[in-house]
Amino acid sequence: PAVDMVPPTVTIAVTGAQGTAGAWYDAVTVAVDARDPGGVAQVRYSLDAGDSWLPYTQPFTLQADGVPADPPAEMVEDFGGGPGRFLVLVVAVDNAGNALTPPAYRLITIDPRQNPATLAMTASPASTACRPTATANVAANVRWGPGLVYDPVALLDAGQSAPIIGQNGDGSWWRLDLEPGARGEFWISGQVVSASCLEAGVPVVATPAPPTPTPTATPTETPTPTITPTPTITPTVTPTLPPDRVPPRVSVVYDPPRPDEGTVITFTARAEDNVGVTRLEIWVQGPGERQLALVQTCLDAPVCRYEGGPYAAGVVQFVAYAWDNAGNQGSSNIVSITVLKK
């Protein structure tokens, strides 16, 4: 008999009051949906980066607890710390004992300043107008439509900016004026950029129709003559494409090759997939630390980099995980690095 070795899938949904820029400004409700063909035995969640876990039995509420500070320059495991910033981690275990590793996560920011009433009171008519702009948090694909079904047409490097000229219906994708005067459209996911100058609002614009899959020619069997004048035609059989079950191939490298206590180490992860890579994560465990920790997440990008250290003398371990459009997860081997004493 087949042995179940596939962990449950987890979705984290957030609902609450949103401002004109799509930011939450008041209490939000977090709902977790865990599914597994063999049944889900346990679901737990953490709000303190995994230090403690609570059983999930029903949706819970996160309250605004102050004005959030500016986000860090790079994603780290303790991103949830500080007023208004929350990191929700979820682990699910099925009836066969398979646990979701690494945990599913959702980064949530609640900013009371985004309340439309507050923005209306604090708006200054004499303020200098600025143009809505998207700045890439990580290297990310630019597509010709708002969704992963549209092919990439360009790449926005980390730190690179482009003007925003529109958004899709639910505000999850921005249309960019990436090449003024050029024909075609340029769209980028709101999850991989920081948007600014949105006070005047961004119009909802029409989106291109999703691409139509190229039809595959279906072979037709040659009719077999019979003793009657009328030949019998065998019905055409339409082949069914198998579902994508191939996970991404993940590789990792680091530089410099012989780091010492004063060296900053650059960790680089690369993923390849026959369909497309949607998420890439780098996990690192420094000398003296008890376990691997998530230090960098790159969305909709085949390459992800993280600069860590300097580290104390000892052994540093790191690994990378990648997911494709079908939800298949791949991982690299765990790599050990010896940090030398100066």
**Tokens 């082949």 correspond to what residue?**
239
User: CATH no. for residue 260?
Assistant: 2.60.40.10
For residue 318, is it within any domain? yes
- My answer on whether 27 and 104 are in the same domain is yes
| Residues 338 and 311 sit within 8 Å (Cβ to Cβ) | no
- My answer on whether 48 and 142 are in the same domain is no
Beta-strand (E) ranges in 190-257? Answer: 193-196, 249-255
pTM of the model: 0.38
Distance between CA atoms of 316 and 76, rounded to whole angstroms?
Answer: 17
For residue 233, is it within any domain? no
* Structural tokens at position 209: 């129709």
- My answer on whether 139 and 173 are in the same domain is yes
Q: Which H or E element spans position 119?
A: helix 116-122
| Residues 287 and 313 sit within 8 Å (Cβ to Cβ) | yes
Q: Name which of 17, 37, 35, 41 is nearest 27 in CA terms.
A: 17
For residue 237, is it within any domain? no
What is the greatest pairwise CA distance in the chain? 93
Q: Determine the pLDDT at residue 9.
A: 94
Q: Determine the pLDDT at residue 126.
A: 45
| Residues 317 and 336 sit within 8 Å (Cβ to Cβ) | yes
Report the domain count for the chain. 3
- My answer on whether 30 and 87 are in the same domain is yes
CA distances 110 to 68, 122, 175, 198, 236, Å, are: 7, 18, 24, 17, 57
| Full residue range of the structural domain in which residue 72 is found | 9-118
- My answer on whether 93 and 168 are in the same domain is no
Q: Name which of 298, 295, 341, 292 is nearest 317 in CA terms.
A: 292
What does the pLDDT profile of the chain (342 residues) look like in tens digits? 678 889 999 999 999 888 766 678 888 999 999 999 999 999 999 998 888 999 999 999 998 888 777 655 554 444 456 778 888 999 999 999 999 889 999 988 888 888 877 665 554 444 456 889 999 988 888 898 998 888 888 888 888 899 999 999 888 999 999 876 566 789 999 988 999 998 878 999 988 888 876 665 555 565 555 555 556 656 555 556 678 788 999 999 999 999 999 899 999 999 999 888 999 999 999 998 988 899 999 988 889 999 999 999 999 999 999 998 888 899 999 999 999 998
- My answer on whether 255 and 332 are in the same domain is yes
User: CATH no. for residue 157?
Assistant: 2.30.30.40
- My answer on whether 189 and 144 are in the same domain is yes
For residue 208, is it within any domain? no
* Structural tokens at position 52: 């403690």
Last residue within a domain, chosen from 88, 118, 148: 118
Q: Name which of 245, 244, 254, 243 is nearest 332 in CA terms.
A: 254
Last residue within a domain, chosen from 118, 152, 173: 118
Q: Is 221 exposed, middle or buried (0-12, 13-18, 19+ CB in 10 A)?
A: exposed
- My answer on whether 143 and 76 are in the same domain is no
CA distances 169 to 106, 175, 321, Å, are: 22, 11, 31
For residue 334, is it within any domain? yes
- My answer on whether 114 and 182 are in the same domain is no
For residue 309, is it within any domain? yes
- My answer on whether 13 and 113 are in the same domain is yes
Q: Determine the pLDDT at residue 35.
A: 94
Distance between CA atoms of 181 and 296, rounded to whole angstroms?
Answer: 35
* Structural tokens at position 31: 């709902």
Last residue within a domain, chosen from 157, 179, 196: 196
- My answer on whether 18 and 111 are in the same domain is yes
Q: Determine the pLDDT at residue 225.
A: 56
For residue 124, is it within any domain? no
Q: Determine the pLDDT at residue 77.
A: 47
For residue 155, is it within any domain? yes
- My answer on whether 47 and 101 are in the same domain is yes
